[in-house]
């Protein structure tokens, strides 16, 4: 009899019947895991190279914080115009943490102290992801989900950076979590609305959250909508007000917060909002190297293929099982989770939407993919239970998961941004199949010791003439003592060496010749795959 009850309870967990955390250990699991994850990130913050966008955010965050110390309406543009194409939350938090932990308390270097703000979002993401999954299903699925999300290689990489993609993912989780609670208690709708406003202040794609929120609002009030459509059923004005009250704040509060908390918008507000939206609507094209072809606009399937080749099989297979289970045994909550997992990819698939930089533009999909994968593991465990080998199944799963952490996180550290899964033969196989090896400048970190050894020479960093923030990254390395001050950078004609990041999408004809036909004097490699090559320009000139 007890076995039958246990089976019923386990089955209900994936059919949308929430069990949630009950005992002390279960309730404390979320904060303990989140704190442990923050510790892992903290002790590895300095292992990662400065990415291109971080350089711009670093200087913007310093500028914003300087204004906060002496705020004035008259000098807003002097401080807030820098990098105004992106909202300020992450940059401002980074500026504050850089001031506290580098300038006032010299505990960390400049880059690590700026990045320290990301720990706020690492905690919040994993804490609320655990709570959300535990309340929807059970603690076991929540535990699997949170571990899965944190140790996804590309997510792990972004969880170290002072950039906007991971914070945006964190706000996506929290808005969804509190809006679900808001369907039961309207006060949480206001919390979700405030969080959505903060998401607006983090990144432009926060506007996309309206779609899954609207979907859930309609789904929750389907019965009332049917009564309204069929005029023979009366709906009281109180019911209509209650319905509207659970969505209306989402339309009012976030735009108010966007304007009130972003000083750059205080002058010529409507003109600057239009400028902000126009910049992203007409975003300049960024070339990618995809399936062996350089493209200004990758095809629609780019996000789906990139997801398929960068998520480890230990997660990808259970995710597909979870998708099938959701399709065959749908419930309101499972369908909503699946929508949140697929919607960011669907948006990036649209013909006019730029597609580049691996998975970072649709990073908010991954916590919900992790939930679906957790459901898939749970369902596979139930099947194994029927065949009387559930313990063996979970032992094998844990062993494979630990092996995957070793192969996709530890062994490739700190180059998880270049991780590809078993389907394409890892990074080496992916490059042979025409994927970009690197994309954001993280791997420049690996050339610093060699540059210090050859500090009497001059170096040409390809792309630095087009994107000056590349060289500003090396300036930060100098300020943090990682690169000797006397290392000099120049152009093609007056440099001894060429530093080439292996982002094939940006290569011109000359760079392809170096990459394909010249032997580098030094390489930063992941396995046998170069991420950065250094070429001797003097040798090339002699041959020429």
User: pLDDT tens digits, residue range 362-415?
Assistant: 999 999 999 999 999 999 999 999 989 999 999 999 999 999 999 999 999 999
Quote the pLDDT of residue 20.
55
**Angle at the Cα of 405 (from 25 to 26), degrees rounded to 5?**
10
> Which residue stretches of 282-418 are H helix?
302-310, 313-328, 332-349, 366-386, 390-405
pLDDT above 90 coverage of the chain, percent: 84
Q: Could you give the percent of the chain with pLDDT greater than 70?
A: 92
Is a pLDDT exceeding 50 seen at residue 16?
no
Distance of CA 13 to the CA centre of its chain: 28
Over residues 231-254, mean pLDDT: 83
pLDDT of residue 6: 41
Q: State the burial class of residue 35 (Cβ atoms within 10 Å of its Cβ: 0-12, 13-18, 19+).
A: middle
pLDDT of residue 183: 92
The answer to whether 187 touches 142, Cβ cutoff 8 Å, is no
Kindly report each contact of residues 525-528 with a partner whose C-beta sits within 8 Å and lies 24 or more positions away, as own/partner. Answer: 526/412, 526/415, 526/418, 526/427, 526/437, 527/426, 527/427, 527/428, 528/428
- Which pLDDT does position 325 carry in this prediction? 97
Provide long-range contacts, Cβ within 8 A and 24+ apart, for 526-531: 526/412, 526/415, 526/418, 526/427, 526/437, 527/426, 527/427, 527/428, 528/428, 529/418, 529/427, 529/428, 529/431, 529/437, 530/437, 530/502, 531/415, 531/418, 531/437, 531/438, 531/443, 531/446, 531/501, 531/502
Indicate the average pLDDT of the chain.
92
From the number of C-beta atoms within 10 Å of its C-beta (0-12, 13-18, 19+), residue 11 rates as middle
27-83 pLDDT, tens digit each: 799 999 999 999 999 999 999 999 999 999 999 999 999 999 999 999 999 999 999
Nearest of 248, 122, 124 to residue 182 by alpha carbon: 248
* Residue 543, pLDDT score: 57
Per-residue model confidence (pLDDT) at position 98: 97
Q: What is the pLDDT of residue 242?
A: 81
Q: Is the peptide bond before 414 cis (omega within 30 degrees of 0)?
A: yes
Confidence of residue 3 (pLDDT cuts 50, 70, 90): very low
Where residue 541 falls among pLDDT bands split at 50, 70, 90?
A: low
pTM for this entry: 0.93
pLDDT at residue 21 tops 70: no
Predicted confidence band of residue 439 (pLDDT cuts 50, 70, 90): very high
**What integer pLDDT is reported at residue 243 of this predicted model?**
84
pLDDT tier for residue 5 given thresholds of 50, 70 and 90: very low
- pLDDT digit string (tens) for 173-229? 999 999 999 999 999 999 999 999 999 999 999 999 999 999 999 999 877 766 666
Q: 12 pLDDT band (50/70/90 cuts)?
A: very low
Predicted confidence (pLDDT) per residue in 96-112, tens digit: 999 999 999 999 999 99
What is the pLDDT averaged over residues 230-252? 80
What is d(CA 125, CA 367) in angstroms, rounded to the nearest whole number?
9
Question: Are 97 and 114 in contact, with CB atoms under 8 Å apart?
Answer: yes
* Listed residue (153, 159, 124, 125) closest to 43, CA to CA: 159
**pLDDT tens per residue, range 417-437:** 999 999 999 999 999 999 999
pLDDT of residue 210: 98
Higher-pLDDT residue of 15 and 343 is 343
pLDDT at position 10 is 42
Higher pLDDT, 157 or 10: 157
Q: Does the structure show a pLDDT above 70 at 276?
A: yes
Question: Is-contact 361 237, C-beta < 8 A?
Answer: no
Question: Any alpha helices (H) in 14-51, and if so which ranges?
Answer: 24-42
Q: What is the pLDDT of residues 143-183, one digit of tens each?
A: 999 999 999 999 999 999 999 999 999 999 999 999 999 99
């Amino acid at each position: 009899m007890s076995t039958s009850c246990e089976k019923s309870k386990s089955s209900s967990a994936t059919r949308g019947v929430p069990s949630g955390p009950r005992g002390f250990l279960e309730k404390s699991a979320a904060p303990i895991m989140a704190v442990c994850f923050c510790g892992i990130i903290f002790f590895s913050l300095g292992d990662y190279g400065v990415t291109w966008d971080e350089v711009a955010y670093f200087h913007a965050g310093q500028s914003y914080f300087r204004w906060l110390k002496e705020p004035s309406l008259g000098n807003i543009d002097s401080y807030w115009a820098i990098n105004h194409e992106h909202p300020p939350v992450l940059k401002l938090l980074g500026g504050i943490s850089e001031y506290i932990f580098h300038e006032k308390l010299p505990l960390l270097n400049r880059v690590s102290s700026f990045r320290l703000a990301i720990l706020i979002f690492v905690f919040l993401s994993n804490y609320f992801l655990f709570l959300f999954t535990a309340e929807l299903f059970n603690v076991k699925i929540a535990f699997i989900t949170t571990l899965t999300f944190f140790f996804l290689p590309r997510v792990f990489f972004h969880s170290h950076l002072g950039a906007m993609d991971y914070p945006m993912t964190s706000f996506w989780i929290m808005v969804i979590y509190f809006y679900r609670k808001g369907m039961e208690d309207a006060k949480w709708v206001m919390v979700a609305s405030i969080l959505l406003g903060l998401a607006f202040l983090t990144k432009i794609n926060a506007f996309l959250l309206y779609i899954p929120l609207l979907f859930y609002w309609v789904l929750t009030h389907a019965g009332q909508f049917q009564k309204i459509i069929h005029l023979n059923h009366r709906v009281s004005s109180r019911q209509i007000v209650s319905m509207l009250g659970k969505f209306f704040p989402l339309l009012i509060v976030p735009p108010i917060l966007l304007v009130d908390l972003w000083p750059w918008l205080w002058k010529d507000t409507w003109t600057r909002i239009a400028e902000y939206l126009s910049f992203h609507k007409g975003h300049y094209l960024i070339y990618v190297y995809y399936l062996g072809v350089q493209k200004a606009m990758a095809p629609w399937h780019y996000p789906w293929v990139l997801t398929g080749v960068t998520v480890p099989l230990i997660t990808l297979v259970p995710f597909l099982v979870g998708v099938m289970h959701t399709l065959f045994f749908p419930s309101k909550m499972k369908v909503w989770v699946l929508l949140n997992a697929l919607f960011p990819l669907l948006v990036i698939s649209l013909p006019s939407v730029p597609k580049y930089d691996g998975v970072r533009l649709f990073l908010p999909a991954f916590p919900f993919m992790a939930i679906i994968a957790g459901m898939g593991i749970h369902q596979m465990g139930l099947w194994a239970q029927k065949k009387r080998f559930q313990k063996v199944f979970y032992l094998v799963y844990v062993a494979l998961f630990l092996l995957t952490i070793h192969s996709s996180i530890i062994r490739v550290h700190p180059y998880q941004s270049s991780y590809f899964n078993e389907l394409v033969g890892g990074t080496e196989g992916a490059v042979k199949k025409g994927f970009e090896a690197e994309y954001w400048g993280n791997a420049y970190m690996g050339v610093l010791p060699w540059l210090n050894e050859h500090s009497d020479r001059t170096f040409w960093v390809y792309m630095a003439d087009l994107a000056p923030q590349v060289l500003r990254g090396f300036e930060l390395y100098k300020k943090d003592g990682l690169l000797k001050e006397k290392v000099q950078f120049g152009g093609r004609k007056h440099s001894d060496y060429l530093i080439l990041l292996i982002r094939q999408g940006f290569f011109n004809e000359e760079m392809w010749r170096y990459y394909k036909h010249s032997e580098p004097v030094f390489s930063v490699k992941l396995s046998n795959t170069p991420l950065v090559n250094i070429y001797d320009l003097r040798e090339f000139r002699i041959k020429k």
